[in-house]
Amino acid sequence: MLPSKENSLQRLLQFTLARCCSRSVGKAACPRLVLGIETSCDDTGAAVLDEEGVILGESLHSQKEVHLRTGGIIPTVAQHLHREHIQRVVQEALERSGVGPSQLSAVATTVKPGLALSLGIGLEFSQRFVREHNKPFIPIHHMEAHALTVRMIHPVTFPFLVLLVSGGHSLLAVARGVSDFLLLGHSLDEAPGDTLDKVARRLSLIKHPRCSTLSGGQAIELLAKDGDRTKFPFKTPMGQTLDCSFSFSGLRNQVTMTIMKKEVEEGVEQGTLLSCVNDIAAATQHTVATHLAKRTHRAILFCKTNGLLPSSSPTLVLSGGVASNHYIREALTIITETTGLRLLCPPARFCTDNGVMIAWNGIELLREGKGVLSPDVDVHYEPKASLGVDISADVKAAAIRLPSLRMKITS
Ligand code: KG4
Ligand code: ZN
């Protein structure tokens, strides 16, 4: 599988590369190549990219099916699966790229934040690899990689606003440069993808014929298309808190209570598919979308007041696994159209975890000569790691009230 951009162009490039490097022309003549490795959660990913962001080869092993069956990610299971697949995934990415380890300029690997046991496998493999091949090592912040992926596809210049929403995170930040972020707000409890996954599990959507292979978020999006969100008017979280933080656990409680009530009404046991799953899915998705939209609206107003975004073509980047949701994209389109921002979302396959985004972050750091370590430096993983300088207290102090806005989402 040769992803993105023209295959013929890629083949030509690979050929040129192979010749250029095998003739050992001066280093400057060879484009720099980075191998990216991702194992922070439940995807084992690897990719080789050149400096222009051309994907020369990639491989991805998803653990989704296993975790769907076990009803959530069990860290020891994730660790075992990473260990089982990492060697093959990296080898596949290298083989597909036609690039040998000696031709790499560096190896970039996610070291924070994420599941400790998962991060450990990627880091251990990478440190062994860079020492064996004597290559520089670039430790990567997973959320920074999500935030910067867009620059591989669109020529977006700094600064821009970014909303990252995934199974492990939700945050709003101003990207001022590579590894230079201002954190405006983050989730105080769980992440939106986690909430959608838990709601989907509580609704037993894995038993639904159309949803058995889908992640919780994908299942909710699919069922919501045939649902009536007005049947369950869930309260949008944190209406009285005038900042940009997020909270989803209260919404999950509201949904759980509703499900329990409906089970009693329909006279069915927990674990049975309710007749109103579509409506519950639609109402849950709408409330998540509205919450994300409102916090983002406030973030945009805060940035405008404080001159944090350029006056020409200010941009909101939406990324992370939950960003592939079309309803949520549309809710954010309403906000960006109202406030005069351009909304950019990487294609869905780059929104979820993969090796490409890690390699790209490596390229960005390599170009700037930031965070590039010699192979013998010992690096430790960090399960918890916030992104950039936290100015959420300033955002809260500004207490910006939102103008009323009708969220008429049609998708
Ligand atoms: O970014 P990602 O691949 O992994 C993390 O870093 O968490 O995101 C996975 C999350 C899961 O919670 C999944 O349910 C959610 O993204 N997700 C979606 C959709 N596709 C995946 N949520 C809502 N709508 C979708 N279409
Ligand atoms: Zn992620």
Q: Rounded to a whole number, what is the distance in angstroms from the first to the last CA of the chain?
A: 32
Among all bound ligands, the one having the nearest atom to the CA of 140 is 2
pLDDT given at position 270: 94
pLDDT(27) > 80: no
Q: How far does residue 319's CA lie from ligand 1's centre (Å)?
A: 10
pLDDT digits (tens, 9 = 90+) for 60-81: 998 888 888 888 889 999 999 9
pLDDT number for residue 64: 83
* pLDDT on residue 72: 83
Mean pLDDT of 355-361: 98
Using most ligand atoms within 8 A of CB, pick from 38, 166, 285 the residue to mutate for ligand 1: 166
| Residues 125-183 pLDDT 10s | 999 999 999 999 999 999 999 999 999 999 999 999 999 999 989 999 999 999 999 99
Taking the centre of ligand 1 as the mean of its atom positions, its distance from the CA of residue 109, in whole angstroms, is 21
Q: What is the tally of helices (H) and strands (E) in the chain? A: 14, 11
Tens-digit pLDDT profile for residues 256-285: 999 999 999 999 999 999 999 999 999 999
Ligand 1 neighbourhood includes 42 CB (under 6 angstroms): no
Token representation of residue 80: 């075992």
The per-residue pLDDT for 66 is 87
Q: What is the 350 CA–ligand 2 centroid distance (Å)?
A: 10
* pLDDT score, position 406: 82
Cα(321)–Cα(38) distance, integer angstroms = 15
How far, in Å, from the CA of 159 to the mean position of ligand 1?
26
Q: What confidence tier does 25 reach under pLDDT thresholds 50, 70, 90?
A: very low
| Cα 105 to ligand 1 centre (Å) | 32
324 pocket-lining for ligand 1 (C-beta < 6 Å): yes
Q: What is the pLDDT of residues 102-111, one digit of tens each?
A: 999 999 999 9
Q: Quick check: CB of 192 below 6 Å from ligand 1?
A: no
Task: Answer whether 50 contacts ligand 1 (Cβ < 6 A).
Answer: no
pLDDT, residue 29, reads 57
- Is pLDDT larger for residue 149 or for residue 409? 149
Q: Is the Cα torsion angle 181, 183, 189, 193 positive or negative in sign?
A: negative
Q: What is the position in ligand 1's atom list of the atom closest to the CA of 200? A: 14
pLDDT for res 101:
97
- Using CA atoms, how far residue 281 sits from 189, 196, 241, 295, 407, in Å, is 21, 9, 26, 22, 17
212 CA to middle of ligand 1, Å?
16
Cβ–ligand 1 distance for 196 under 6 Å, the answer yes
**Is the pLDDT score of 334 beyond 70?**
yes
Centre of ligand 2 from the C-alpha of residue 40, in Å: 8
d(CA 385, CA 389): 12
Domains 34-153+351-380 and 162-345+390-398 share a fold: yes
Q: How is the chain split into domains, by residue range? A: 34-153+351-380, 162-345+390-398
Q: Is 136 in the pocket of ligand 1 (CB under 6 A)?
A: no
Closest-CA residue, ligand 1 atom 10, reads 167
> In terms of DSSP bridges, do strands 55-62 and 43-50 run parallel, antiparallel, or are they unpaired?
antiparallel
At 390, is the secondary structure helix, strand, or coil?
strand
Q: Which ligand is closest in space to the CA of residue 68?
A: 1
Ligand nearest to the CA of 115: 1
Closest residue by Cα to residue 218 from 317, 326, 143, 124 = 326
Judge whether residue 378 has pLDDT over 80. yes
Q: What's residue 42's pLDDT? A: 87
Question: In CATH, what number does 162-345+390-398 get?
Answer: 3.30.420.40
- Read off the pLDDT of residues 285-311 as tens digits, 9 standing for 90 and up: 999 999 999 999 999 999 999 999 999
Q: Is 353 in the pocket of ligand 1 (CB under 6 A)?
A: yes
CATH topology (fold) of 34-153+351-380: Nucleotidyltransferase; domain 5 (3.30.420)
Ligand 2 mean position to 357 CA, how many Å?
10
